[in-house]
Amino acid sequence: MAFLCLHPLSDLQEPSSPSWLGSRSQREHRRQGDAPRWKPSVILGFGCASFASPPCPRIADFQDVLKEPTIALEKLRELSFSGIPCEGGLRCLCWKILLNYLPLERASWTSILAKQRELYSQFLREMIIQPGIAKANMGVSREDVTFEDHPLNPNPDSRWNTYFRDNEVLLQIDKDVRRLCPDISFFQRATEYPCLLILDPQNEFETLRKRVEQTTLKSQTVARNRSGVTNMSSPHKLSASSSPNEYEVLPNGCEAHWEVVERILFIYAKLNPGIAYVQGMNEIVGPLYYTFATDPNSEWKEHAEADTFFCFTNLMAEIRDNFIKSLDDSQCGITYKMEKVYSTLKDKDVELYLKLQEQNIKPQFFAFRWLTLLLSQEFLLPDVIRIWDSLFADDSRFDFLLLVCCAMLILIREQLLEGDFTINMRLLQMSARSYRKPRSSKTRSSLAARGPGLEEKTLTLCPGFWDTQMPVGSQPEGKLQEWPAPDLLTLGCSHRGTLCHAPS
């Protein structure tokens, strides 16, 4: 049974920025040119975040559930919905179970993981290749480049033709993953566990990054160097300061985390030609990979790439219809889901619904990104991870996502009711930093009365984000404190506080 308890802001300590975030000036530089991002006062869910209060007692509850020979899925869902502690790699393990990567029977985990990781290694061997170059680690000698395997061969089934088609997809993936999560430097840093199959000098494989570099020819470089195409390699000689779009080149034998994400997306596109790669998938795989790659258990961290791939594949099996244009107008398509957000809003706040209709503000103008990317572009990474705890734990998780989107609208109803079309469009299309602005007591009381039907499916807020003058000691005794949740999830709450569980 869930209880609401007050959570004084003074009980929490603002964590210091971890080293991989970079300096303040570096973080601000990375933000330039991006949409304004909401910056919460308390970091949620980071593995390196530290709280002044003692470790969450709910950790023991998770451990009790996870040590059973057969995991009680409903109990795990109940615990995870209120937030998963980041200590001890609990979040990584829970996500793998909730996303159906690991079965409920613990005894089969070892064999399942070994099988899946070997399968992923096989994907690497088969799909990260350069036509016309021998696969040395497979015992194949160098091939003669004949007409059957020549770049000018018009046969659509030739390896070179496939290579060129793959490059079109790869270029789009590369452009997207390089700018993944610009607020942090994690994805630009070197991974501790690079893919030795690719980087081993005894093999003749090339990294996807080098493949892109050989494919891309920048017109600005050609204009500057007129001695011929042999100068196409000159962009790599530019200093990082000469172009904000250039990234630091890592030493040989190293690869950045974004390169791992690039490889995951490329293999997914190869295995799923019907959908291939659609812009935005990088924002789905990013939080998954970050969570697994920061697991405190080195054995799990070493296989973060393979584990992320299969969890991402399972997640995409549930949301892939959002990325297929031909299904947009079907009942499983994204258009239907966006209209469902408005129909839910009409039930919960008809005044706001009529205002948006009067201004002809359609859900397609803002909800498309919210739904397709699972809110990953609306919040900073720690809060995305916290929201996904609840999203993955809910048995009808994507119906719950519609409720969250509806809550986001209601939480800014005052601004929307007062604004004109231009102001409201700007407000809805910017990131959700505005959702944590302090609001009047009138707004808070109106929220409580507006959504009682959502109470069982929504989280409660951390009051410190609303009122910075919370009295010390206002937290009721006997309740177990949980991680503070983003206040956009407060719709239907009759009290302010964080979701807590009382002892049975």
CA distance 270 to 268: 5
Centroid of chain to Cα 124: 23
Task: Count other C-beta atoms under 10 Å from residue 333's C-beta.
Answer: 16
The arithmetic mean of pLDDT across residues 105-110, rounded, is 96
The strand pair at 2-5 and 498-501 is best described as antiparallel
The arithmetic mean of pLDDT across residues 206-219, rounded, is 60
Same domain for 168 and 309, yes or no, is yes
Residue 239 scores a pLDDT above 50:
no
Query: How high is the pLDDT of residue 463?
Result: 30
User: Are 455 and 501 within 8 A, CB to CB?
Assistant: no
Tokens of 203: 């093999």
Same domain for 379 and 469, yes or no, is yes
For 368-390, b/e burial (b = at least 16 CB within 10 A) is: bebbbbbbbbbbbbbbbbbbbbb
| Domain finish residue from 302, 323, 344 | 323
Q: How confident is the model at residue 118 (pLDDT cuts 50, 70, 90)?
A: very high
Query: How high is the pLDDT of residue 322?
Result: 80
Query: How high is the pLDDT of residue 282?
Result: 95
Does residue 333 belong to any structural domain of this protein? Answer: yes
Does residue 389 belong to any structural domain of this protein? Answer: yes
The arithmetic mean of pLDDT across residues 157-176, rounded, is 79
Residue 222 scores a pLDDT above 60:
no
The arithmetic mean of pLDDT across residues 283-308, rounded, is 94
Residue 164 scores a pLDDT above 70:
yes
Four-CA torsion 213, 285, 13, 38, nearest 10 degrees: 80
3-state secondary structure of 190: strand
**What residue has token string 């030609």?**
273
Same domain for 341 and 399, yes or no, is yes
Query: How high is the pLDDT of residue 179?
Result: 87
CATH of the domain at 462: 1.10.472.80
Does residue 467 belong to any structural domain of this protein? Answer: yes
Amino acid present at 124 = L
Least confident stretch, 83-92, 109-118, 174-183, 472-481 = 472-481
Residue 421 scores a pLDDT above 90:
yes
Q: How confident is the model at residue 347 (pLDDT cuts 50, 70, 90)?
A: very high
Query: 344 Cβ partners below 8 Å, 6+ apart?
Result: 402, 403, 406
The arithmetic mean of pLDDT across residues 350-359, rounded, is 95
Query: How high is the pLDDT of residue 283?
Result: 94
Does residue 40 belong to any structural domain of this protein? Answer: yes
| Domain finish residue from 323, 344, 377 | 323
Residue 126 scores a pLDDT above 80:
yes
Q: How confident is the model at residue 208 (pLDDT cuts 50, 70, 90)?
A: confident
CA distance 209 to 100: 31
Same domain for 182 and 59, yes or no, is no
Does residue 103 belong to any structural domain of this protein? Answer: no
**What residue has token string 């603002």?**
14
Does residue 146 belong to any structural domain of this protein? Answer: yes
User: Are 191 and 293 within 8 A, CB to CB?
Assistant: yes
Amino acid present at 130 = Q
Same domain for 38 and 124, yes or no, is no
High-pLDDT (> 90) share of the chain, %:
38
Same domain for 375 and 502, yes or no, is yes
Same domain for 343 and 487, yes or no, is yes
Query: How high is the pLDDT of residue 372?
Result: 92
pLDDT in tens, 301-331: 999 999 999 999 999 999 888 887 777 677 7
Query: How high is the pLDDT of residue 153?
Result: 55
Q: How confident is the model at residue 58 (pLDDT cuts 50, 70, 90)?
A: confident
When mean pLDDT is compared over 19-23, 217-221, 246-250, 405-409, the highest value belongs to 405-409
The arithmetic mean of pLDDT across residues 208-220, rounded, is 58
Residue 106 DSSP one-character state: G
Least confident stretch, 167-171, 232-236, 246-250, 344-348 = 232-236
The arithmetic mean of pLDDT across residues 128-147, rounded, is 47
The arithmetic mean of pLDDT across residues 443-466, rounded, is 40
Better pLDDT: 4 or 253: 253
User: Are 485 and 498 within 8 A, CB to CB?
Assistant: yes
Better pLDDT: 90 or 253: 90
Better pLDDT: 72 or 221: 72
When mean pLDDT is compared over 129-138, 144-153, 261-270, the highest value belongs to 261-270
CA distance 261 to 254: 14
Query: How high is the pLDDT of residue 159?
Result: 63
pLDDT in tens, 67-104: 999 999 999 999 999 899 988 899 999 999 999 999 99
Q: How confident is the model at residue 114 (pLDDT cuts 50, 70, 90)?
A: very high
Query: How high is the pLDDT of residue 183?
Result: 81
Same domain for 260 and 366, yes or no, is no
CA distance 446 to 435: 16
Look at residues 424, 405, 404, 429 and name the one whose alpha carbon lies nearest to residue 414.
Answer: 424
Same domain for 228 and 134, yes or no, is yes
Residue 500's beta-bridge partner residues? 3
Task: Count other C-beta atoms under 10 Å from residue 345's C-beta.
Answer: 21
Query: How high is the pLDDT of residue 270?
Result: 92
DSSP secondary structure, 198-266, as one string: HH-TTS----HHHHHHHH---HHHHHH-TT-GGGGGGGGGS-GGG-TT--PPPPTT--BHHHHHHHHHH
Query: 133 Cβ partners below 8 Å, 6+ apart?
Result: 142, 204, 206
Residue 486 scores a pLDDT above 60:
no
Q: How confident is the model at residue 455 (pLDDT cuts 50, 70, 90)?
A: very low
Does residue 230 belong to any structural domain of this protein? Answer: yes
Domain count, the chain: 2
Same domain for 79 and 53, yes or no, is yes
User: Are 284 and 315 within 8 A, CB to CB?
Assistant: yes
Residue 466 scores a pLDDT above 50:
no
Query: How high is the pLDDT of residue 255?
Result: 87
Same domain for 286 and 417, yes or no, is no
Q: Is the pTM for the entire model greater than 0.75?
A: no
Q: How confident is the model at residue 152 (pLDDT cuts 50, 70, 90)?
A: low
User: Are 351 and 418 within 8 A, CB to CB?
Assistant: no
Query: 105 Cβ partners below 8 Å, 6+ apart?
Result: 69, 70, 71
Look at residues 398, 487, 477, 474 and name the one whose alpha carbon lies nearest to residue 443.
Answer: 487
> Where does residue 46 rank: exposed (0-12), middle (13-18), buried (19+ CB within 10 A)?
buried
Better pLDDT: 466 or 423: 423
- Residue-number span of the structural domain to which 148 is assigned: 108-323
Same domain for 331 and 310, yes or no, is no
Residue 246 scores a pLDDT above 70:
no
| Domain finish residue from 303, 323, 343 | 323
